[in-house]
């Protein structure tokens, strides 16, 4: 949607029309970004610094990844709903010599993404990595319960929010012929199960979306990594129903993800045992699988 018309057009030249697009959400007045704040120091050949966005960095895996990536030299934009928690995390990272800046953002406000993305890229001084961690798990409360509202919320946050962010990012990285996208999906997306159809659906959709992006972008030199965590010792674990085997701390998952990022892998399970568990589950015949209760 083209809503911003430039004063420059008084020159009678249409050159910039080609470059103006969905920069501002309809109805919002464009505000220049605040360039008075400190930006990360420019990278140099001997002090390289990559720039990354973590969507959903307030707690759990997002926060653990922020700490890990900061240690690995990334300047980070931390996005999430809780500005207080993000600022606390940002202060911690900045105090340890890294660079992180907090941005309050609700991923279900899709229309704000293009402007915020442009702002973050300007303030970070470029973009090399986007990690989409944001996710919710709202189980219906039993295998005979249904909740469209919960399902809708999960699809909005887990899938459409990811698409809202990764669509422009994919476009940018394809153009740049560089960059890395990491999407946090779940083992729950590998098979539809009785416990939480909405969650399974949102994660299966995300897994497929990431695979499609990977198939589009690999030829352009962009790496797309799908992360499939099993159980993690985070707040989301409370939503899990029944046993939670092989649960790992988010720091361990962050280490696994970083190793996979370095190797530019396509898919990684964390903990790694889930690869074999899910292989078995994926190959379980339907006439058996539909009789199971997990």
Q: Residues interacting with other proteins, by CB under 8 A?
A: 2, 4, 6-9, 11, 13, 15-23, 30-35, 39, 41-48, 51, 118-119, 121-128, 168, 171-173, 175-179
CB of 10 to other proteins, least distance (A): 9
Instruction: Round to whole Å and give the CA distance between 253 and 230.
Output: 9
Instruction: Round to whole Å and give the CA distance between 52 and 117.
Output: 11
CB of 96 to other proteins, least distance (A): 18
CB of 173 to other proteins, least distance (A): 7
Q: Which is nearer to other proteins, 13 or 95 (CB)?
A: 13
Structure tokens at 292: 């199971």
3-state secondary structure of 185: coil
Q: Give catalytic residues, as residue numbers.
A: 199
Any alpha helices (H) in the chain, and if so which ranges? 60-71, 83-95, 113-124, 148-154, 161-176, 197-217, 250-262, 273-282, 286-289
CB of 215 to other proteins, least distance (A): 19
Instruction: Round to whole Å and give the CA distance between 251 and 194.
Output: 30
CB atoms within 10 A of CB 97: 8
Q: Which is nearer to other proteins, 168 or 195 (CB)?
A: 168
Q: Which is nearer to other proteins, 39 or 193 (CB)?
A: 39
Q: Which is nearer to other proteins, 115 or 289 (CB)?
A: 115
């Amino acid at each position: 949607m083209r809503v911003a018309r430039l004063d420059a057009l008084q020159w009678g030249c249409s050159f910039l029309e080609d470059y103006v697009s969905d920069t501002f959400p309809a109805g919002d007045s464009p505000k220049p970004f605040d360039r008075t704040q400190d930006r990360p120091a420019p990278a140099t050949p001997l002090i390289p610094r990559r720039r990354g966005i973590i969507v959903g960095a307030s707690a759990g895996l997002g926060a653990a990844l922020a700490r890990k990536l900061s240690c690995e030299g990334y300047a980070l934009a931390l996005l999430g709903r809780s500005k207080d928690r993000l600022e606390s995390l940002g202060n911690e990272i900045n105090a340890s010599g890294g660079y992180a800046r907090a941005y309050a953002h609700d991923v279900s406000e899709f229309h704000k993404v293009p402007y915020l993305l442009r702002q973050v890229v300007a303030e970070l001084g470029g973009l090399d990595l986007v990690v989409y961690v944001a996710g919710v798990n709202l189980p219906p409360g039993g295998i005979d319960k249904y909740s469209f509202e919960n399902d809708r919320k999960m699809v909005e946050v887990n899938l459409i929010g990811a698409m809202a962010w990764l669509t422009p990012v994919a476009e940018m990285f394809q153009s740049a012929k560089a960059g890395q996208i990491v999407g946090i999906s779940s083992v729950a997306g590998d098979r539809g199960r009785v416990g939480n159809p909405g969650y399974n659906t949102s994660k299966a959709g995300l897994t497929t979306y990431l695979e499609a992006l990977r198939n589009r972008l690999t030829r352009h030199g962009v790496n797309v990594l799908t992360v499939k965590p099993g159980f993690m010792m985070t707040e989301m674990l409370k939503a899990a129903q029944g046993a939670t085997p092989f649960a790992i701390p988010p720091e361990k998952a962050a280490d696994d993800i970083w190793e996979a990022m370095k190797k530019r892998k396509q898919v990684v399970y964390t903990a790694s045992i889930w690869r074999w568990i899910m292989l078995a589950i994926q190959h379980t015949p339907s006439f058996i699988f539909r009789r199971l209760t997990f």
